[in-house]
Structure 1
Amino acid sequence: MKQGIHPESYRFVVFKDMSNGETFLSKSTTNSKETIQWEDGNEYPLVKLEISNTSHPFYTGKNMLVDTAGRIDKFKKRYAKKD
């Protein structure tokens, strides 16, 4: 591994999945202005995520309902040949 290319400022950060409210503690170099008190009583920086492994369909095995029929109809209407 190359020396001197990796950051040295790793610290504990709490990540919160905004879609389901799950939180987890990990090390990161990301910055955040918000903080949260964790289960151990310490205060850590808070990073809000739109989606994580706790809500992503690939990891959960649950598919999201997608309106494919509506999408197909819109496509056909948009690209239909005009007589």
Structure 2
Amino acid sequence: MREGIHPKYVDTTVTCACGYSFQTRSTKPEIKLEICSHCHPFFTGKQKLVDSAGRVERFHRRYKKTEGKTIRKKVSSLSADRRDKKKEK
């Protein structure tokens, strides 16, 4: 490594908004966090799970009516006129 171009690597205090703090090493002497593993719902076990199974069932009920049939859209008369003009050329 070249001398004088790299930042100093120092002991760092990481502080969360909940009050929890811990020591690590970084180029900055102090780091402030909004959320950490002690207050995040995923790590504390207070996470609410989204019911994705209900969404899948609702999707199947909604599209069960088509039963795999392809639904064709009605072609407007304007696009039909354009097709006729192309055939003439």
Coarse TM-score class (shorter-chain normalised): 0.3 to 0.5
- Higher helix content, 1 or 2: 2
Q: Choose between structure 1 and 2 for higher RCO, CA contacts under 8 A separated by at least 6 residues.
A: 1
- Rg larger in 1 or in 2? 2
TM-score norm. by structure 1 comes to: 0.42
- Higher strand content, 1 or 2: 1
